[in-house]
Amino acid sequence: MSETRSDRPSGPLRPWRGLIEEYREFLPVTDATPVVTLHEGGTPLLFAPRLSERVGAEVFLKLEGANPTGSFKDRGMTVAISKAAEEGAQAVVCASTGNTSASAAAYAARAGMACAVLIPEGHIALGKLAQALVHGARVLQVRGNFDVALEIVRDLPNRAPVVVVNSINPHRIAGQMTGAFEIVDVLGDAPDVHCIPVGNAGNITAYWRGYLEYKAAGHSTRLPRMMGFQAEGAAPIVNGAPVESPETIATAIRIGNPASWFGATAAASESGGGIHAVSDEEILSAYRFLASEESVFCEAASAASVAGLIKLGVPESSRVVCVLTGHGLKDPDLAISQLTVPPAVDAEMGAVLAALGL
Ligand code: F0G
């Protein structure tokens, strides 16, 4: 295997300068590209001992919630916004179930660009809405779901000078390939199985391309089986037809007509994997398991990858990577709805001991 990043500065704490600098030779950037970065990528690949025991395999979690805006979207956004800056764009736009809007808002602010986001009214997690607003995006809640918002966004460049930063922008997919590079760099080769949630299907498309390109470049010797998981009420690829009114508690993947549909089915079939559905109950059960047993607080949509792994199982001793796409703090309402928030007690020792049953 060839060493390609020998120019990296070294030291006890080597500075991570973001994924464009780390993986420049695989990305559509040149010396003329102004790099807009929040030092995204380089996220932990955490061994999951209890999950491994439960499924009889060696399972690692790719913690994409550790990116600067709390989701994997930053990987594609650093490239998309850098390229938009290179082209002289003044404004970017996206449709989003929340995370893309948070990431676009942050990177656009960094680049000094205007940003407009279209989100489905009433179906976006509170943290994501807060992020888009606090980073200064123009937030439009549309009366409709993600799919209709994306239809409008696709057409906007024909009416106004804006660049679309949804994953229909190929620079987004290019940046998201780096997740696969990092996994191979840490494990020394590709895993046997790669589990990932599927919404608009850009990420599974990007990971598969990433594994292919990294192998072609001599960094790995094999390819994983790509297992994609949709929520049962929003499972167009599994059903083989668009879903008019998708419904799931995992609002990030509440999508009825994925833009990268073909990319997902190609990844699944070429790799010998598949796209399957998991119920909201299975997603929530995996979400609680990850938080209580592995100390990883992820989004409900992210937990779909682990729900799928638990549901389908894998051959014994397989090496598995589950991508946990976003941080649990994105959706505090969902977290709290799963629990009972205890009442307040008086601020004195007796009351505290009694409340703790001590
Ligand atoms: N997980 C999370 C947390 C997401 O936010 C998304 C997509 C996915 C998984 C699915 O990834 O679309 O590439 O298949 N969120 C988009 C958004 C749609 O607007 O934030 P995908």
C-alpha 309, offset from chain centre: 17
C-alpha 332, offset from chain centre: 18
DSSP string, 286-342: HHHHHHHHS---B-HHHHHHHHHHHHH--STT-EEEEEE-BBGGG-HHHHHHTS-PP
- State the average pLDDT over residues 60-65: 98
Question: For a substitution probing ligand 1, which of 43, 153, 253 has the most ligand atoms within 8 Å of its CB?
Answer: 253
- State the average pLDDT over residues 129-136: 98
- Residue closest via CA to ligand 1's atom 12 equals 200
pLDDT in tens, 155-193: 999 999 999 999 999 999 999 999 999 999 999 999 999
Q: Is the confidence at residue 3, as pLDDT, over 70?
A: no
- State the average pLDDT over residues 17-31: 98
- Residue 289 in contact with residue 51, Cβ under 8 Å? yes
Q: Which residue has the higher pLDDT, 1 or 64?
A: 64
Ligand 1 nearest atom to the CA of residue 167, by list position:
13
- Residue 40 in contact with residue 55, Cβ under 8 Å? no
Ligand 1 nearest atom to the CA of residue 203, by list position:
13
Ligand 1 nearest atom to the CA of residue 103, by list position:
20
pLDDT at 7: 61
Share of the chain above pLDDT 70, in %: 97
Q: Is the confidence at residue 204, as pLDDT, over 70?
A: yes
Cβ neighbours of 132 (radius 10 Å): 28
pLDDT at 227: 98
pLDDT in tens, 219-249: 999 999 999 999 999 999 999 999 999 999 9
Beta bridge partners of 138: 116
Write the CB contacts of 13 (distance below 8 Å, at least 6 apart in sequence): none
pTM above 0.85, yes or no: yes
